[in-house]
Structure 1
Amino acid sequence: MTKKGQSVTILVAEDDEDDRMLMQDALEENRLANDLHFVCDGEELMDYLRHRGQYSDPKVAPRPSLILLDLNMPRKDGREALKEIKSDPALRQIPVVVLTTSKAEEDILRTYDLGVSSFIAKPVIFESMVQIIKALGKYWFEIVELPDKK
């Protein structure tokens, strides 16, 4: 499900194992799991993006086409990671979609102020997650023009 046969790398920052499995199944259902990577918190997300530690090899940690970001994670939460991503000239072009259980108006406003591309309340029902992932896939990988990976 990609335009012009481009390779799509999706990076999911999610600390909850059940939510990771739900997202992976929904991505597979929509044929978007070809190059799927998971990190468990904001620190690991930044290590991945900056090729530090276990992610020092770019083949292990390719530049993502899209980041799906949970807000409430240990060590460094999604808000802090988003602020770092969007303040870094080497990373700010990567689209970030917040996918979280939070529906707090403060979180919505703050993440948009920080430069998030979209804010989506995470569904708990698999069929709803499949529909959200389908819409995300269509929008980000069929409709939108993304910059070439660097």
Structure 2
Amino acid sequence: MRRLILHADDSEDDALLLRTAFEMAGLRNRIVRVSNGQEAINYLWGIGHYSDRLLHPLPHLLLLDLKMPLVDGFDLLEWLGSVPDFKELPVIMLSSSEDPSNIEKARALGARDYLVKPAKLEDLVELVRNLHATWLCKDLQPA
């Protein structure tokens, strides 16, 4: 079964690299990209054009960038922790920031892991293989 990934990242380039890495790894997960935390909230709640759950099902995994407009990664983590329906959604921070305080704060707010975006595509391919093995091969229910 192909597990749905919600990818919240304001960088189109990073989103394209992530899709490319999944393809190069031979993984066929459906990836839905939203460009900020507010759009992620809208997707998760099924607001607006996300209201059709056949077209926009709940994700099995959220890959979350830290620095985004409107609602950043920390604010989205706080929101997720306050909504019982989404407390069990696995959230992986995928950020270019290596700041230890960001890593600590993300984990304290409920991120299951914090991964630094690699500079090389081959390293990103390995990262998505590990993500798939760890988070998408388990018997997980969508949020």
**TM-score normalised over the length of structure 1:** 0.89
Aligned residues of 1:24 and 1:33 also touching (Cα < 8 A): no
Give the one of 86, 89, 98 matched to 1:91: 86
Q: How does 1:53-132 map to 2 (within 5 A)?
A: 53-132=48-127
- Offset at 1:149? 2.9
Amino acid corresponding to residue 86 of structure 2 in structure 1:
L
Consecutive aligned runs of 4 or more in structure 1 exceeding 6 Å deviation: none
Is residue 149 of structure 1 aligned with residue 132 of structure 2? no
Aligned counterparts of 2:5 and 2:76: Cα–Cα separation in 1: 16
1:15-44 Cα distance to aligned partner (Å, 9 max, x none): 001100000111122233432100000000
Amino acid corresponding to residue 121 of structure 1 in structure 2:
V
Q: What runs of 5+ residues in structure 2 fail to find an aligned partner?
A: none
RMSD (Å), alpha carbons: 1.4
Aligned counterparts of 2:29 and 2:124: Cα–Cα separation in 1: 18
Equivalence for 1:34: 29
Greater shift after overlay, 8-17 or 29-38?
Answer: 29-38
Aligned counterparts of 2:136 and 2:28: Cα–Cα separation in 1: 13
Query: How many residues end up aligned between the 2 structures?
Result: 143
Aligned residues of 2:2 and 2:28 also touching (Cα < 8 A): no
Q: What runs of 5+ residues in structure 1 fail to find an aligned partner?
A: 1-5
1:67-101 Cα distance to aligned partner (Å, 9 max, x none): 10000001110110111112211011110000000
Aligned residues of 1:98 and 1:119 also touching (Cα < 8 A): yes
Aligned counterparts of 2:73 and 2:116: Cα–Cα separation in 1: 14
Is residue 44 of structure 1 aligned with residue 39 of structure 2? yes
Amino acid corresponding to residue 103 of structure 2 in structure 1:
I
Equivalence for 2:135: 140
